[in-house]
């Protein structure tokens, strides 16, 4: 947190609570009304009990007889007050709970929606585990004080009512109350001051533990194949131990202050009895007055703690809100236009014009390294263009620019002559589709993974996309066909099967531009050739889509109408595969090196039958 002082924490915490009240005013009003009703009934109960003791019990003891009418009236009053208190408790708890959970749900949606609005560059600078913590534990922490807040507000009303009642009864007893109540507030403030840094540190460590856990689980393949289980366990245990110690520190402080918060009202009750007995002997007050005040101090102990609960939760709330607000206030979202392309317009034309790009650095004050510089080329309608170049040449960056996952620093990327920044989001998504290097498969059925519940993508369209991706054969052989659950990240499928499934997912949307970022690296070359041949022509004999493919294999490159050769983020040469082989030594050397690096046919056949774990290793290489 920016500051750990109690005044700043209190001010910022109250600001967070004020935001909650402004967003849910009606529900808060219901909860506070219930709490105020409860508080007033507590004060009223104290004086009814005092009246019963002074006017019914004491006379009955003195005379040896019980007035049935007075007893019945006293019972009716106490019963009525109890019913009203129950109504207040129900209203308070329902309102507070509904308000808290509604805010948490709303802000989880806002954080998640913001994640989807922010560019890839922002996600690359933030660990996945931290983002999960922002949407879960940080949102929860931000609105935790909502639960006791209405109770605390009602308690304040009750305390005011109690002080007024004490002043009406006797000035000496009122002085006892005026001494105890400020002491309770001072103790709560001291508690909040010491709790603030502890809660902030615990909240930060929660995110770090979540991040390490997610990283270890997500990288389980690397951890296991590299024999790093013990080291990863130790790394997690170290940070989990820090979180444990931080939470113990929080609990230890709470263990010290809680008894003190319990003791003060009890000391107040004792002081009331001592002072009250003296005032009773002087004749300044009646027995009923003394009983009422003593009973009032007794029942105040629990409600007053609600104020402490709010103050105790404020440091964690502020820490959680700061982390949530960091996401909500993050900049860099890519606004879309309202231009729409004709979805039935045939293969799209992709044009890069003097495109430059640099990824944002991890630290904002550092300059970003240039990845692309003045890249210009065109993928004509219905054409296949291959991007070829050494590692780091900018091929994958061009692929992400083509579907506008990122925006260029300079120049323009256009589809059918329209700058992609001017296109409506759904129009862009319906026109261009990217199949990435590493296939991502949801833990769902084959059907759900291909269709994504998109309108118009029925089973017939799913099977058509699977056939075009050369995936219909293995899907038909699965135990439940389209209804087969593929497991988390598609663990029940091989690497090649996952790639073909993600390709079918893109094809099912009938894109007019298909961008393949080394999307068939785990597929047999013969199957890859069949896929590209199928993509070249639709069922009617015409081109199904324009294709931009990041290619490594000679057979794939040879199928392209044009090859764009990149070096260090710039277009060095362009032309047919045969032309570049004959005229560009660097291109010739690279393609030859690719050929030499390819696995032999016998190993490739074994690859197709390999276990999903080994296949995943090949895909992630």
- The confidence score (pLDDT) of residue 34 equals 92
Q: Using the predicted structure, report yes or no on whether residue 563 has a pLDDT greater than 90.
A: yes
Instruction: Report the C-alpha gap between 185 and 617 in whole angstroms.
Output: 60
Q: Using the predicted structure, report yes or no on whether residue 290 has a pLDDT greater than 70.
A: yes
Task: Estimate to the nearest angstrom the gap between the alpha carbon of 518 and the chain centroid.
Answer: 31
Task: Find the helix or strand (DSSP H, E) in which 514 lies.
Answer: strand 513-517
Question: Where does residue 362 rank: exposed (0-12), middle (13-18), buried (19+ CB within 10 A)?
Answer: exposed
Q: Using the predicted structure, report yes or no on whether residue 49 has a pLDDT greater than 50.
A: yes
Res. 614 pLDDT band, cuts 50 70 90: very low
What average pLDDT score do residues 277-295 get?
80
Question: Which range has the top average pLDDT, 29-33, 292-296, 405-409?
Answer: 29-33
Cα end-to-end span (Å), the chain: 40
Q: How many CB atoms lie within 10 A of CB 427?
A: 21
CB 604 within 8 A of CB 597: no
The tens digit of pLDDT for each residue in 19-31 reads 999 999 999 999 9
Instruction: Report the C-alpha gap between 428 and 226 in whole angstroms.
Output: 41
Task: Estimate to the nearest angstrom the gap between the alpha carbon of 542 and the chain centroid.
Answer: 45
In this prediction, what percent of the chain has a pLDDT beyond 70?
83
Question: Where does residue 208 rank: exposed (0-12), middle (13-18), buried (19+ CB within 10 A)?
Answer: middle
> Higher confidence at residue 483 or residue 261?
483
Q: Using the predicted structure, report yes or no on whether residue 342 has a pLDDT greater than 50.
A: yes
Mention every residue, 6+ apart, whose C-beta is less than 8 A from residue 565: 388, 389, 571, 572, 573, 574, 580, 584, 586, 587
User: CA-based angle 120:387:499, to the nearest 5?
Assistant: 65
List the single range of 179-188, 240-249, 461-470 with lowest mean pLDDT.
Answer: 179-188
Q: What is the mean pLDDT of the chain?
A: 80
What average pLDDT score do residues 251-255 get?
81
Mention every residue, 6+ apart, whose C-beta is less than 8 A from residue 554: 577, 591, 594, 595
3-state SS, residue 355: strand
Q: Using the predicted structure, report yes or no on whether residue 278 has a pLDDT greater than 80.
A: yes
Classify each residue of 463-501 as buried b or exposed e, where b means 16 or more C-beta atoms within 10 Å of its C-beta. Answer: bbbbebbbbbebbeebeeebebebeebbebbbbbbbbbb
- The confidence score (pLDDT) of residue 87 equals 93
> Higher confidence at residue 165 or residue 401?
401
Question: Which range has the top average pLDDT, 99-103, 210-214, 252-256?
Answer: 99-103
Res. 538 pLDDT band, cuts 50 70 90: low
Res. 196 pLDDT band, cuts 50 70 90: low
Q: Using the predicted structure, report yes or no on whether residue 336 has a pLDDT greater than 50.
A: yes
Task: Write out 359-419 in H/E/C secondary structure.
Answer: CCCCCCCCCCCEEEEEEEEEECCCCEEEEECCCCCCHHHHHHHHCCCCCCCEEEEEECCEE
- The confidence score (pLDDT) of residue 225 equals 64
What the chain holds in terms of domains, given with CATH numbers, is 16-329 (1.20.1560.10), 350-439+510-600 (3.40.50.300)
Beta bridge partners of 358: 370
List the single range of 459-473, 529-543, 582-596, 604-618 with lowest mean pLDDT.
Answer: 604-618
What average pLDDT score do residues 522-530 get?
72
- The confidence score (pLDDT) of residue 223 equals 66
**Residue closest to 420 by CA, chosen among 432, 409, 434, 435:** 432
Instruction: Report the C-alpha gap between 480 and 483 in whole angstroms.
Output: 5
Q: Using the predicted structure, report yes or no on whether residue 353 has a pLDDT greater than 90.
A: yes
- The confidence score (pLDDT) of residue 61 equals 63
- The confidence score (pLDDT) of residue 224 equals 67
> Higher confidence at residue 584 or residue 495?
584
Mention every residue, 6+ apart, whose C-beta is less than 8 A from residue 493: 441, 486, 487, 501, 612, 615
- The confidence score (pLDDT) of residue 109 equals 92
Task: Estimate to the nearest angstrom the gap between the alpha carbon of 470 and the chain centroid.
Answer: 37
Strands of 418-419's sheet in order across: 370-379, 350-358, 410-415, 418-419
The tens digit of pLDDT for each residue in 113-158 reads 888 878 777 776 777 767 777 888 888 888 988 888 898 888 888 8
Question: Where does residue 387 rank: exposed (0-12), middle (13-18), buried (19+ CB within 10 A)?
Answer: buried
In this prediction, what percent of the chain has a pLDDT beyond 90?
14
> Higher confidence at residue 79 or residue 66?
79
Q: Using the predicted structure, report yes or no on whether residue 565 has a pLDDT greater than 90.
A: yes
- The confidence score (pLDDT) of residue 279 equals 82
Q: Using the predicted structure, report yes or no on whether residue 237 has a pLDDT greater than 80.
A: yes
Q: Using the predicted structure, report yes or no on whether residue 83 has a pLDDT greater than 50.
A: yes
> Higher confidence at residue 62 or residue 134?
134
């Amino acid at each position: 947190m920016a500051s750990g002082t109690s005044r700043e924490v209190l001010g910022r915490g109250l600001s967070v609570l004020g935001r909650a009240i402004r967003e849910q005013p009606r529900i808060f009003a219901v909860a506070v009304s219930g709490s105020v009703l409860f508080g007033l009934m507590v004060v009223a109960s104290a004086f009814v009990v005092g009246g019963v003791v002074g006017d019914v019990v004491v006379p009955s003891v003195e005379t040896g007889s019980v007035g049935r009418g007075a007893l019945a009236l006293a019972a009716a009053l106490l019963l009525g007050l109890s019913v009203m208190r129950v109504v207040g408790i129900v209203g308070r708890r329902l309102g507070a709970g509904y308000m808290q959970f509604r805010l948490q749900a709303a802000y989880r949606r806002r954080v998640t929606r913001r994640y989807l609005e922010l560019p890839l560059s922002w996600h690359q600078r933030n660990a996945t585990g931290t983002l999960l913590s922002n949407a879960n534990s940080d949102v929860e922490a931000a609105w935790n004080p909502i639960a006791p807040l209405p109770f605390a507000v009602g308690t304040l009303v009750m305390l005011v009512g109690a002080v007024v009642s004490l002043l009406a009864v006797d000035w000496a007893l009122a002085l006892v109350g005026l001494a105890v109540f400020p002491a309770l507030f001072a103790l709560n403030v001291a508690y909040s001051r010491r709790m603030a840094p502890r809660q902030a540190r615990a909240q930060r460590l929660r995110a770090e533990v979540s991040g390490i856990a997610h990283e270890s689980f997500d990288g389980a393949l690397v951890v296991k194949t590299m024999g790093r289980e013990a080291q990863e366990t130790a790394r997690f245990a170290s940070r989990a131990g820090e979180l444990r110690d931080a939470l113990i520190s929080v609990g230890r402080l709470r263990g010290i202050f809680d008894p003190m918060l319990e003791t003060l009202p009890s000391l107040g009750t004792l002081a009331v009895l001592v002072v009250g007995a003296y005032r009773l002997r002087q004749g300044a007050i009646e027995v009923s007055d003394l009983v009422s005040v003593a009973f009032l101090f007794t029942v105040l102990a629990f409600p007053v703690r609600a104020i402490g609960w709010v103050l105790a939760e404020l440091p964690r709330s502020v820490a959680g809100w700061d982390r949530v607000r960091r996401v909500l206030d993050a900049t860099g979202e890519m606004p879309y236009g309202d231009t729409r392309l004709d979805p039935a317009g045939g293969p799209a034309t992709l044009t890069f014009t003097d495109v430059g790009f640099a990824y944002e650095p991890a630290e904002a004050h550092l300059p970003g390294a240039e990845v692309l510089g003045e890249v210009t080329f065109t993928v004509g309608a219905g054409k296949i263009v291959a991007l070829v170049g050494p590692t780091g040449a900018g091929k994958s960056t061009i692929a992400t620019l083509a579907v506008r996952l990122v925006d260029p620093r300079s120049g323009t990327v256009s589809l059918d002559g329209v700058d992609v920044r001017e296109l409506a989001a759904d129009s862009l998504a319906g026109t261009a589709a990217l199949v990435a290097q590493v296939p991502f498969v949801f833990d769902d059925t084959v059907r759900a993974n291909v269709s994504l519940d998109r309108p118009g993508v029925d089973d017939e369209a799913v099977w058509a996309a699977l056939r075009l991706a050369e995936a219909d054969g293995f899907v038909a052989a699965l135990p439940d066909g389209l209804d087969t659950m593929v497991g988390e990240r598609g663990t029940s499928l091989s690497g090649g099967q996952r790639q073909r499934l993600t390709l079918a997912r893109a094809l099912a949307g009938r894109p007019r531009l298909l961008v393949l970022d080394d999307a068939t690296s785990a597929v047999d070359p013969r199957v890859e050739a069949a896929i590209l041949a199928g993509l070249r022509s639709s069922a009617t004999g015409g081109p199904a889509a324009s294709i931009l493919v990041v290619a490594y294999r000679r057979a794939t490159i040879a199928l392209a109408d044009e090859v764009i050769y990149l070096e260090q983020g710039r277009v060095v040469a362009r032309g047919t595969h045969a032309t570049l082989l004959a005229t560009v030594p660097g291109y010739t050397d690279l393609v030859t090196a690719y050929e030499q690096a390819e696995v032999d046919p016998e190993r490739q056949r074994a690859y197709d039958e390999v276990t999903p774990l080994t296949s995943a290793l090949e895909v992630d290489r």
